[in-house]
Amino acid sequence: MSVYACEVCGYEYRPEAGDPEHDIEEGTSFEDLPADWVCPLCGASKEDFEKVEEDGEEESDDDM
């Protein structure tokens, strides 16, 4: 699942975290969010979000 970022305020929607304040369960992909879902921070609509391309398939924390 992909992370999407709000182009207005920079908020990142992470599927693994969901959006508890809006009753979005953990594991809900951005595509599965209701059409009327808006950015929790600034209220921007889904159309204002852009997919974040993640480099690398796995996160590595030992990249100092």
Judged by CB, which is closer to Zn ion: 42, or 52? Answer: 42
Shortest spacing between CB 10 and Zn ion, in angstroms = 7
Q: Which residues contact 17 (CB under 8 A, 6 or more apart)?
A: 26
Burial class (CB in 10 A: 0-12, 13-18, 19+), 23: exposed
Shortest spacing between CB 37 and Zn ion, in angstroms = 12
The C-alpha atoms of residue 2 and residue 23 are separated, in whole angstroms, by 19
Residue list 3-62, contact with Zn ion (CB under 5 A):
6, 8-9, 11, 39, 41-42, 44
List contacts with Zn ion (CB under 5 A): 6, 8-9, 11, 39, 41-42, 44
